[in-house]
Structure 1
Amino acid sequence: MTQSVVVQVGQCGNQVGCRFWDLALREHAHVNKRGVYDEALSSFFRNMDSRRSDGGSCSVGGKIQHLKARAVLVDMEEGVVNEILQGPLREVFDSTQLLTDVSGSGNNWAVGHMTYGSAYREQIVDKLRKAAEHCDCLQCFFLIHSMGGGTGSGLGTRVLSLLEEEFPEVCRIVTSIYPSAEDDVITSPYNSILAMKELTEHADCVLPVENQSLVDIVDKIKRMSHVGRTSSVIKTDSTVISGQGGLSGAEKPFDAMNNIVANLLLNITSSARFEGSLNMDLNEIAMNLVPFPRLHYLVPSLTPLYTLADVSVPTRRLDQMFSDAFSKDHQLIRADPKRSLYLACALMVRGDVQVSDLRRNIERLKPSLPFVSWNQEGWKTGLCSVPPVGHSHSLLALANNTCVKPTFTELRERFTKLYRKKAHLHHYLNVEGMEQSFFSEAVSSLSSLIEEYDHLDATKGRLMPDAPRLSIAR
């Protein structure tokens, strides 16, 4: 059995990560009624009860003190991590796997990447190594961070480069939360552009999630819940409304948004945590969905996003789930994949769904989805028999699609507006090790990425002899 380690960096990364661990424990408790420590649990949890190292009884739902998450929590402000340690999940995290400071990165990528990255390098590497040593067969690192703040963008991408340095053979899948245009952090375009260069260079796969998309989804679900029709009543154990997510205190406005991202992680890791007739190896995501090494940004789409009151699922609704996965409303970034080009696509299905259902829906949808000419059969599929709690089945689609280009173009435009005025630049250049050339290199890297997507769109994905930029991944 393989294991994976989740690395949570910054306020956003730790809040999303906390929701993931809370929901993962609920899923395992729902399936593993006797609370036996088994292979499914070992994929993301360690058994700390030495008396039961042979896989004996170890309660999941109640006495969880013997389970420790395979996680490393890093934040340069201690608030969120302290909140986690005072909440219901405090026993799930090993104190030796936590790293905090008190002052924060001041919404400055350079402080996170340079200052804290250098000061805490050895401690971070030590914690990553210890987490890896607890794994029999380490398969994947999941990094969760935001792009807009200082610690998430700066230290998060520093941690990413350390992962590549220390564990070059281990897959690195990054969930990156992108700020909206109305972000209250004025320097977020700087932070995001600087972080993008690191993601392009050091990640195997990036799952971009836009804050604005999460806001839109949550607002839509709230409107549906107020309609009052029986068919649109949201259950209390739904994807969005699911308790405190391991944090103490009242539900916060962004908890529902974090919960959607946590469910993305639940779905992508389901095949590693549970049995299925067609399980997808996490390494296969990068291997099958990334034909060009730099174009590893995968658009996530999740369905259903809520639990309907009637959970009986006729074929019509099952087919609708597949259609929804390719609609703009269920994507976690604002884009239209059907008007852009697919390089590859993965469908990760959970619940009582047959391989024949999967094949039938792929054949039904294929004519409306523009794939590159050299990868018409570029589908990767996974079937996990265990559905999320409160659902009969669910689907995560990961599309390597040129539709990410407008998101990156908009980001570059917001950066250029600030940079042209040299606004707030001195805050960055005053940081030891930071040079102005970092900005020009970062925007050049992003422009090059956008050009590569442009080239694919212009040629409709045909492999042209004059395409030196696009080297095939090996």
Structure 2
Amino acid sequence: MTQSVVVQVGQCGNQVGCRFWDLALREHAYVNKKGVYDEALSSFFRNVDSRKSDGGSCGVGGRIQYLKARAVLVDMEEGVVNEILQGPLREVFDSTQLLTDVSGSGNNWAVGHMTYGSAYREQIVDKLRKAAEHCDCLQCFFLIHSMGGGTGSGLGTRVLSLLEDEFPDVCRIVTSIYPSAEDDVITSPYNSILAMRELTEHADCVLPVENQSLVEIVNKIKQMSYGGKPGSVIKSDSTVISGQGGISGAEKPFDAMNNIVANLLLNITSSARFEGSLNMDLNEIAMNLVPFPRLHYLVPSLTPLYTLADVNIPTRRLDQMFSDAFSKDHQLIRADPKHSLYLACALMVRGNVQVSDLRRNIERLKPSLPFVSWNQEGWKTGLCSVPPVGHSHSLLALANNTCVKPTFIELRDRFTKLYRKKAHLHHYLQVEGMEQSFFSEALSSLSSLIDEYQHLDATKGRLIPDAARLSIAR
């Protein structure tokens, strides 16, 4: 069995990661009634002998004992990590997995990337190596971070480049939370564009998630739950019901949003954690969905996002799940993939679903989905027999699709408005090692990425001339 390590950086990265570990433990406890340490658990947890360590019960009914998450938690403000250590998941992590400071990065990419990245480089590498040494067969690093703040964007992308340096042969899948246009961090466009260059250069796959999309999805679900329509009552075990998870204290407004991102991670890792008739290896995601190295941004959609107390015909519900995965209402960024060009697509299904159901729905949907002419069969499928807790089945779609382009254009526009005025630039330039050329190079990198997507859109799926193909593949 292969293992993976989750690296959580910054406030957002640690809050989302905390929800992932809580929900993963619930899934394993639900399936593994006797609490025996098995291959499924070993994928993301290691078993610790309490006589040699400070290990303890995982906090899920005492069924699973002495588990430690395969994780590294990094934050330059200690608040969230301290909350985790005081909450129900406190025994799943130990001090060797944590790295905190007290002052934070001041919403400044340069402080996170340059100042803290240099000061804590050896400690970060040491913790990553120790996490890797606990793995018999390390397959993937999952990095979770936000783009808008200083630590998530700056130190998060510094950690990404360290992963490439130290473990060049291990797949790097990054979940990046993008700020909304109404973000209260005024420097978030700078941080996001500077981080984008690093993601384009050093990640194998990036799963972009927009805060605004999460807000809209949660609001739609709340409307349904209070709508009073027959059959549209949301069950208490719904995906967006947070149950407060691994952080102590009252439930926060963003808990439901974090749950959605955590479920994205649960689904993408399901084949690594459980058996299935059509398991998808994590390495296969980059191998099959990324025809051009730089174009590795995979738009995620998740369905169902809630469990309705209804009695619909199972087959109809199943087919609707596949249709929903391609509708703009279920994308985790504001995008409409059906009206943009597909380079490739993965469908990762969980639960009581047959291979024949998978194939039938692909054949049903294919005519309405515009694929590039040279990859008409660009589908990758995975089928895991264990559904998320509270659901009979679920589907994660990962689309390598040119619909990411508007998100990147909007980000560039917001960056340009600030940069033209040189607003707040001095906060960055006073950081040792930071130069103004970093801004122009990051902007150039993003513009080049946008141009590559535009070129693909312009071809309408026709064969790309060799010269253009080489340009994109560089």
Q: TM-score, normalised by structure 2?
A: 0.97
What percent identity do the matched residue pairs reach? 93
Q: 2:171 and 2:357 mapped to 1: Cα distance?
A: 30
Residue of structure 1 equivalent to 2:285: 285
1:45-56 equivalences in 2 (<5 Å): 45-49=45-49
Q: Secondary structure of the equivalent of 2:468?
A: coil
Return closer, same or farther for 1:162/1:312 CA change in 2, 3 Å cut-off: same
Q: Which residue of 1 aligns with 2:317?
A: 317
Shift of 1:346: 0.1
Displacement of 1:76 in angstroms is 0.1
1:351 and 1:158 map into 2 onto residues whose CA distance is 37
- Aligned residue pairs total 474
Distance of aligned partners of 1:169 and 1:470 in 2 relative to their CA distance in 1, 3 Å threshold: same
8 Å Cα contact 1:25-1:61 kept in structure 2:
no
Using a 3 Å threshold, how does the CA distance of structure 1 residues 313 and 157 change in structure 2: closer, same or farther? farther
TM-superposed deviation, 1:245: 1.6
Distance 1:311 1:6, change over 3 A: farther
C-alpha distance in 1 between matches for 2:77 and 2:55: 37
Deviation at 1:56, TM superposition (A): 15
Distance verdict in 2 for CA 1:56–1:432, change over 3 Å? closer
SS in 2 for 1:176: strand
Q: Distance in 2 between matches of 1:325 and 1:234?
A: 19
How far did 1:94 drift? 2.0
Aligned-residue offset at 1:235: 1.3
Q: What SS does structure 2 have at the residue aligned with 1:383?
A: strand
Moved more, 301-310 or 114-123: 301-310
Distance 2:156 2:234 in 1: 35
Q: Which residue pairs with 1:422 in the alignment? A: 422
* Aligned-partner Cα distance in 2 for 1:76–1:176: 18
Mapped partners of 1:398, 1:445: distance in 2 = 24
Change beyond 3 A, Cα 1:369–1:104 = same
SS for the counterpart of 1:312 is coil
- TM-superposed CA distance for 1:468, in Å, is 3.9
Task: Tell me how far apart the structure 2 counterparts of residues 352 and 52 of structure 1 sit (CA, whole Å).
Answer: 41
Instruction: Tell me if structure 2 keeps the 8 A contact 1:38–1:55.
Output: no
Q: What's the offset of the Cα at 1:310? A: 3.1
Stretches of structure 2 that go unaligned for 5 or more consecutive residues are: none
Q: 1:473 to 1:455 in 2, by over 3 A?
A: closer
Q: Secondary structure at the match of 2:295?
A: coil
Partner SS, residue 307 of structure 1: coil
Q: Is the 2:59–2:89 Cα contact (8 Å) retained in structure 1?
A: no
Does the CA-based 8 Å contact 2:112-2:155 persist in structure 1? Answer: yes
1:312: how far off? Answer: 6.4
Residues 224 and 232 of structure 1 are in contact (CA less than 8 Å); yes or no, is this contact kept in structure 2? yes
Residue 222 (structure 1) aligns with: 222
Aligned-CA RMSD value: 2.2
Aligned pairs (5 A) from 1:351-366: 351-366=351-366
Measure how far apart 1:63 and its partner are: 5.7
- Are the structure 2 counterparts of residues 467 and 429 from structure 1 closer, same or farther at C-alpha, using a change threshold of 3 Å? same
Q: Separation in 1 of the partners of 2:213 and 2:393?
A: 23
Deviations 1:193-244 (A, max 9, x none): 0000000000000000000000000000000000123411111111001301
**Offset from partner CA, 1:20-72 (integer Å, 9 cap, x none):** 00000000000000000000000000000278999999995426550000000
Deviates more, 1:42-51 or 1:300-309: 42-51
State TM-score, norm by structure 1: 0.97
Task: Give 3-state SS (helix, strand or coil) of 1:451's partner.
Answer: helix
2:88–2:247 Cα contact (<8 Å) kept: yes
Shift of 1:90: 0.2
Describe the shift of the 1:252–1:7 C-alpha distance in structure 2 as closer, same or farther (beyond 3 A). same
- Structure 1 Cα separation of the partners of residues 53 and 12 of structure 2: 34
* CA offsets 1:163-183 (integer angstroms, 9 cap, x no match): 000000000000000000000
Change (3 A) 1:182 1:470: farther
| 3-state SS of 1:230 partner | coil
> Any conservation in 2 of the 1:65–1:92 contact (CA below 8 Å)?
no
Paired residues of 2:175 and 2:206 also in contact (CA < 8 A) = yes
Give, in whole Å, the separation in 1 of the partners of 2:311 and 2:337: 29
Change over 3 Å in CA distance of 1:277–1:311 after alignment to 2: farther
Between the aligned partners of 1:64 and 1:411, the Cα distance in structure 2 is: 44
1:332 to partner: Cα distance: 0.1
Deviation at 1:309, TM superposition (A): 1.2
SS in 2 for 1:468: helix
Using the TM superposition, give the Cα deviation of residue 470 of structure 1 relative to its aligned residue in structure 2, in angstroms. Answer: 4.4
Whether the 8 Å CA contact 1:36–1:56 is kept in 2: the answer is: no
Q: Within 2, Cα distance between the matches of 1:55 and 1:198?
A: 36
**Which whole-Å CA distance do the structure 1 matches of 2:467 and 2:255 have between them?**
44
Distance in 1 (CA, whole Å) between partners of 2:250 and 2:297 is: 35
Structure 2: how far apart are the matches of 1:397 and 1:313? 23
3-state SS of the aligned residue for 1:296?
Answer: coil
> For the structure 1 residues 312 and 133, does the alpha-carbon distance in structure 2 shift closer, same or farther, using more than 3 Å as the test?
farther
